[in-house]
Amino acid sequence: MNAATLTFHPEEGSRLLAFAANVRAETLDDIRHDAHATRAYVMGSLEGELAFAVAATPDSLLLTMQGCQRELLLRLGLVGDLSIEQERLRGWIIGLLGSLSASFDAEE
């Protein structure tokens, strides 16, 4: 394949392209020239919102909390064979979020 016959169709590469266009217009254009730390924070925040959207179960707070817990543990690399300190941190997160979800009124 040579460059003369190459056609670029980014919309076929990602289902998130339209979503990203909105995010760019609403958020990213404003911080384009900000410090790296600010841009990294905003990108991390957007990744967190995506993780929540993936984890959310519309009619169940409990299942949503469990999904968020799974996404957080995965993001932190707290899956698989872990060191003692990693196991403790994993347990801490599970205990914290489990207690939080148990403190809401039963919904199921």
Separation of alpha carbons 64 and 29, rounded Å:
31
Residue 105 placed within a domain: yes
Handedness of CA 44, 49, 55, 60 (dihedral sign): positive
Same domain, 64 and 47: no
- Residue 21 is part of which domain span? 14-55
The alpha helices in the chain, defined as continuous H runs, are 17-23, 29-31, 36-55, 61-75, 84-102
Number of domains in the chain: 2
Same domain, 47 and 69: no
- For residue range 24-49, what is the model confidence (pLDDT) as tens digits? 888 877 888 889 898 899 889 989 99
Residue 103 placed within a domain: yes
Same domain, 71 and 37: no
- For residue range 49-95, what is the model confidence (pLDDT) as tens digits? 999 999 999 988 889 999 999 999 999 999 999 999 999 999 999 99
Longest dimension (CA), the chain: 62
Separation of alpha carbons 74 and 64, rounded Å:
15
Does pLDDT of 97 surpass 60? yes
Query: 89 exposed, middle or buried (CB, 10 Å; 0-12, 13-18, 19+)?
Result: middle
Same domain, 40 and 76: no
Same domain, 69 and 106: yes
